Amino acid sequence: MSHDALGQQIARYADGDGIVDTAIPRLTLVRWSHADEPVHMLQRPALCIIAQGAKRVMLGDSVVAYGPASYLVASLDLPITGMVTQASDDAPYLCFCLYLDPVLLSDIAISLPPAAPVAEGSALSLHPITPELLDAASRLTALLGDPAGAPLLAPLIERELLVRLMTGPSGGIVRAITAGESRTGQIARAIGWLKAHFREPYNGPGLADLAGMSVSSFHDHFRRATAMTPLQYQKQLRLQAARTLMLADRLDAAEAGFRVGYDSPSQFSREYRRLFGAPPVRDMGRLRAMPQVAMAI
């Protein structure tokens, strides 16, 4: 199975630039016909396969560049900046993205033989693509053209994809999602709290206690997994939420900053510009002129 087959399926069901949430649960397709426009988003745990083009993903102070030769796995919710680096009208960037279901992963893990322990590092990792993964991804995408058969067949192919992930070179990072006492599971608990309470004042000792670690160990493992400190993670959640409020609800910068936890409008504007590259008013003008980018936020 070649990348061409998967690319043809993606192009068939993603006929315009942007992110397409499909009728198959957890399956998203991406098409982009131009390069160089960064998109800031909260990446959920997922398997991503590029069928055509290339992309650069920035997570904290780390950069991951990949194309069709590799697949990317995210094992935590991560505030990333993604930038398509290779795309054109004739050969658009085409990407298959399957969000990972922890319940289904746990069910599969019970049936698999135990795996050797692996060191848990970054929650964002690249691995060599295989014909088996390409074939399964293409078959799953093709089911978008079979609405009668998809409800029965899609869960089987999704399970096949997850088994291949869990038994291949990405097995350690994917299996860690299912293990509550793994470092990934411990950091995930803290991230879950941050996502629900990012407007509240930062509480490092409380987060470390929730994760079941000492403060120093928690900060070390959190930074190793996400390439940023817990406080930096919280700031990115706040700023991305404020950006969405300004874009969707047309709030002004002061009100959006206040709603996400900033007491100082000037501090909010400084940190907003540092992350997004422009002050709030200029950034909103740019996004409203580029609806395909705004839809991805």
As a whole number, the mean pLDDT across the chain is 92
Tokens of residue 89, six digits: 């009208």
**Which residues are within 8 A (CB) of 162 and not within 5 positions of it... i.e. 6 or more apart?**
100, 104, 105, 108, 174
| Cβ-contact 14, 94 below 8 angstroms | yes
Name the DSSP class of 53: S
Q: How far apart are CA 185 and CA 162, in angstroms?
A: 18
Q: Could you read off the pLDDT of 135-150 as tens digits, one per residue?
A: 999 999 999 999 999 9
Q: Could you read off the pLDDT of 16-62 as tens digits, one per residue?
A: 898 999 999 999 999 999 887 788 999 999 999 999 999 999 999 89
Q: Could you read off the pLDDT of 229-247 as tens digits, one per residue?
A: 999 999 999 999 999 999 9
Full-prediction pTM beyond 0.85? Answer: yes
